[in-house]
Structure 1
């Protein structure tokens, strides 16, 4: 589209590249979304990583909207096809924002229940309280910050676009630069909390390696696609260049931890392979006699036996770990193994 007119400008290479990236973005994020949903856990994510990523993508979308607002205003005189072609860059960054923000939504929905509230030890038995754990409280606070940040910055952007008659006004230009620089800085710092979080826990958690394998090299195409769009400059594509480099570092770390987990016989959440999923219970759960059936009743019966020192047998067919010929005094050793 030529400067100052609403004549359509066709660029086959840019159109094909943008269309491919839009499809690629959705495909690349699907493994991460499905991994959280299928695992029913978002453990392993840093809430600061999600905060910085969500706000960075918001600022990036608003930046390109301001930079291409003159093109957007031409849609009322262009055909639907030409309008979609001209604004494909905006749609591309919108998909990036939406898909990343969905990770934050799934993170909150599938936050492990056993990590939400603190537990206290009552007579050797962990009891859940109504007191929120620090990281769960932080996650709630940061989610609200993302919501307020999005609403506030979007309101200012569209207020300026509605009041400024010239797309080249100083205020619009300064605001677009501020959005671009902010997005770049947020993207640059985005991966540091996650890198530190993953390094400390030394497990992959709910992070998706396939997603990062697609997105890390795809960052080069993403930068190229944005850079060749009319009206954009370095403030528009630099956030995605910074994010691509740091995501590559996180990818290498996750691959190394994956190899380490395999050597130690652990799953992605640090549990021994072959053991039942224990993420939603405050203590390990005993297995039943049939196909590894989970029998939390066995734990409850054993705890009650130890507390009240009942000398009668508590053996049922669903508590195979408690032998009938064992003295009740051995229950303490068994409980010590559970609490260990």
Structure 2
């Protein structure tokens, strides 16, 4: 018989919603993973956004684990269904963290390296940032395990550490999407950033916020809500730029007489290109210059 503090009436709605969000999180990241694998390019994705996002997910996950450790201990006294309900919040946070971490790895693997010194320095900075992240998270996880395995996770120092991680995870959503919003604005398009992922995750963030608040996790819920509003802004920005690209292409097609050949000074077709193709090349050249500027401005 479980202790009174561990007793939990298994709620079908809570468990079903939690499992739905876990599966939905996995599915929502698949378009981003596919985009990086297909394009084999990191352009359009901010490494600073990935770094902050991953660190925020670490803080969010381990803050909740330490703060709610008593719930995890209860699993030894509960049935599988009841334990699943207890652990769903932690599982959901862990899945989200693992998925965004994989995006970080893929962006590093497919870094656009062109052999120049500038590109080498940018790639080196990105990898150094990743190594620093791994070291920082490793230290943070080690500290958490010390509190759990060697000390009382309910002690004052452990709760102070958990609260500190919680404060960081609450602050991170305020600016986590700022580097990505800046990169997308400078690029004037999503690049390798998957708009499909953003469209799926934006309403998912608000559903997640509702689920977390419903479960009594107000801090985690507010974090998800803030992230949802920022993702909504990013979706609107990407949609606008993609719409402008479509409008420019359509306008160029009309002005060019549906692909009328572009004549040179001697009356011959200039380089075998049409007016449309020339305008598209000009637009691509301007986009490439913006990409170079973004890489120069990016912290890493």
TM-score scaled by structure 2? 0.77
Q: 1:194 aligns with which of 176, 180, 202?
A: 180
Look up the match of 1:251.
Answer: 235
| Cα distance in 1 between the residues matched to 2:209 and 2:141 | 23
Residue 4 of structure 1, CA deviation: 6.0
CA contact 2:58–2:97 (8 Å) conserved in 1: yes
- CA separation of 1:238/1:164 partners in 2, compared to 1, >3 Å: closer, same or farther? farther
Structure (1/2) with the larger helix percentage: 2
Of the three residues 124, 128, 133, the one matched with 1:146 is: 133
CA deviations 1:176-222 (Å, max 9, x no partner) are 22111101222221110111111112121001111111111111111
Give the distance between the partners of 1:166 and 1:208, measured in 2 at CA: 40
List alignment gaps of at least 5 residues for structure 2.
Answer: 251-270, 272-284, 290-300
Distance 1:166 1:29 in 2: 33
Verify: 1:137 aligned to 2:124, yes or no: yes
Q: 1:141 to 1:82 in 2, by over 3 A?
A: same
Question: 2:93 matched to 1:93?
Answer: yes
Q: Is the 8 A contact 1:59 1:180 kept in 2?
A: yes
2:153–2:159: 8 Å Cα contact kept in structure 1?
Answer: no
Q: Distance in 2 between matches of 1:152 and 1:239?
A: 24
For 1:288-327, list aligned pairs within 5 A: none
Distance in 2 (alpha carbons) for counterparts of 1:237 and 1:161? 25
Aligned equivalents of 1:52, 1:252: Cα separation in 2? 22
Matching of residue 69 in structure 1 with residue 53 in structure 2? no
Superposition pairs of residues 91-240 of structure 1, within 5 angstroms: 91-114=91-114, 117-118=115-116, 132-165=119-152, 167=154, 169-229=155-215, 232=217, 234-240=218-224
Kindly indicate whether the alpha-carbon contact (under 8 Å) linking 2:189 and 2:242 is maintained by their aligned counterparts in 1. yes
Secondary structure of 1:87's counterpart equals helix
Whether the 8 Å CA contact 1:180–1:239 is kept in 2: the answer is no
Contact 1:9 1:86 in 2 (8 A): no
Q: Mean Cα displacement is larger for which, 91-100 or 77-86? A: 77-86
Equivalence for 1:302: none
The whole-number CA distance in structure 1 between the counterparts of 2:179 and 2:229 is 15
Alpha-carbon deviation of 1:67? 2.2
Q: Which residue of 2 aligns with 1:83?
A: 83
Q: Deviations over 1:64-121 (max 9, x none)?
A: 211221111122233333322211110011011011111101101111232xx31xxx
- Indicate the structure whose relative CO is greater, using CA pairs within 8 Å and at least 6 residues apart: 2
User: Which protein shows a greater Rg?
Assistant: 1
- Give deviations 1:150-199, integer Å, cap 9, x for gaps: 211111112112244363x3323322221111012222211101111111
Return the TM-score normalized by structure 1.
Answer: 0.69
Superposed counterparts of 1:33-48, under 5 Å: 33-48=33-48
CA RMSD of aligned residues (A): 2.5
Tell me how far apart the structure 2 counterparts of residues 151 and 193 of structure 1 sit (CA, whole Å): 24
